[in-house]
Amino acid sequence: MENTYGTKSCLYLAAFYRSVGKSLILTVSLIWPGLGWALPGTTVPPPPPRVATVKPSTGGSVKVKSNGGSKGGAAKGAAGQRVSKSKSRRGAGKQTDAEQTGSGSGSIREAKHRSKTTRPASVPSEARNTTSAGGATTYSMRDGRQWELDGDLRKVRFSKPGMDATFLPNGQIRTATVSRRDGTTILLNRTTGGVRTAAIAGPNGVRVVSLGAHAGYIQRPLASGFVARTYVNGGTASVAVYRPTVYRGATYYTYVPRFYYTSSFYTWAYASGMSPLTFAWGWGGEPWFASYGGYLGLSSSYRNPALWMTDFVLAQDLMSAFADRSGQPDGAPSGHRTEATDEPPADAVSPLVKSDIANEVRQELATEQAEAADGIASPAGSEDVLPALDPTRPIFVISSDLRVAADGAVCALTPGDVIARTSTSVDDDGTVAVKVIGSKPGDCPVDSATAVSLAALQEMHNQFRHDIDSGLAELSRQQGRHGVPAAGPVGAVEPDHNAERELRKAQKAASEADDDITRASAAN
């Protein structure tokens, strides 16, 4: 009897399916997209808002129209159903495992797209977003805040009124501009070696530049229209004077010695064909020399002071490089120690490159001798030819860390590397074409072609002249001995005695700006 009853039941169900089931399935299939996987007694969360097309930002991030919400999702809850307990605990708008696998209405490809574009925790939930073809996503708030994330949802840029910052892949700030209400502007930059530099410009014309924990300078205007910079390096202060020069609407600073020597001293310094000059450097036991001595390749004697000055200038930049890196997690680069010799190591700066640098030294000494005799030009020149673009001065010694694109790859140029300018034309982005002619292991290889900003080239030239004057001061201590003539000096500008304190304040202000950016770029 049970078998008969079961057989009848199956027949009744089959008949029900033929008469009702097909229309029921058709009805469900038509309304299913609007239900959004809602079961009886549930409420469907509203779809994400459709985002209108947004024009590209000034930062160059391309924004295109996003997918937005689906039309089917506009059916808000399909008759006001309630969310089930298991789903409400996960929060409205979050997907279940079944939904992410695409079972039912969503395909696997769509599910992967949804999971890839899940809003990151570092962006406010109410921020509107647009996704570019390259995978970058920009999130914007009505108050002006904007986040730019790469394809892996890592923050690459943040901006808001008065603040703009870019980030390294590890989350550290790469560059930043912060404008304070008191008129102060703070510029931050993290070099290839991980050193944070900061330039703080106040409304009173004072500019404080921190080049790491141990170096920097403070610039103040002088009554004559020039500016004075007091440099601090490892606790030692020196001062230099600069003449503002306007070029293509931008202001650059050209180095002017704070005092001059006698004409005969300059003539002796750049002369050639004299008896060899010997000098006891005394750097053999210093840590920086243990790392960079092989690259420097000191000689035991020099045919003229200009060649001696070449090694002195290179040594100053290498000392600065070591000082910047000595406090970093990676430490100073490895190298080998070498004493002064007439046969430098194979990885040392080539004699040909040193000869080119020595020629630059001679030209700078001749310029300084003329300035001492005739006086320097009036300050605040307009559209003058910058020394950085002088066709007769194509050689530059790197004085601070640079990250450049060379031959299709990004590489580093660090203090002591040598480049040659290959053009006097300035591109639209403010850069000038150069070629690497001398570099340390791990930096951009020799003969690499790249471009460096005009401002960076001018700073290299200024530092070059500053180092030459430091070398002249060292040589002047030998005046009256070993054939060194009377040197002078004539006139002087005193260094700023508050420079170290101002640099410490700049470091503190930079850290505060760093923290402000971190807080502002966090979701809140």
| CA-CA-CA-CA torsion sign (368, 373, 374, 380) | positive
Which pLDDT does position 256 carry in this prediction? Answer: 85
Q: Token pair of 93, please?
A: 């708008």
List of the chain residues with pLDDT < 70: 1-122, 131-134, 272-275, 324-346, 375-384, 480-483, 486, 488-495, 523-524
> Rounded to a whole number, what is the distance in angstroms from the first to the last CA of the chain?
71
Whole-number pLDDT of residue 15: 45
Query: What pLDDT is stored for residue 489 in this prediction?
Result: 59
- CA-nearest of 327, 325, 352 to 438 is 352
Where b means 16+ CB within 10 Å and e means fewer, 50-65 reads ebeebeeeeeebebee
Whether 166 and 157 have beta carbons less than 8 Å apart is answered as: yes
As a residue count, the chain comes to 524
pLDDT digits (tens, 9 = 90+) for 439-492: 998 999 999 999 999 999 999 999 999 899 889 888 888 776 666 776 765 555
The token pair that represents 421 in the structure block: 């300018």
* Predicted structure pTM score: 0.61
User: Which of 79, 92, 90 has the alpha carbon at shortest distance from 41?
Assistant: 79
Residue 432: per-residue pLDDT: 96
> Is residue 198 a contact partner of residue 509, using CB atoms and an 8 Å limit?
yes
Estimate the share of the chain in helix, then strand, then coil, as percent rounded to the nearest 5.
Answer: 35, 20, 45
Give the tens place of pLDDT for each residue, 276-312. Answer: 777 778 888 899 999 899 999 988 788 888 999 999 9
Give the pLDDT confidence of 104-151 residue by residue, as tens digits.
Answer: 344 444 434 433 445 566 688 788 877 665 678 888 988 999 999 888
The structural domains of the chain, with segments of one domain joined by +, span 35-157, 263-493
Q: Are the C-beta atoms of residues 510 and 196 closer than 8 Å to each other?
A: yes
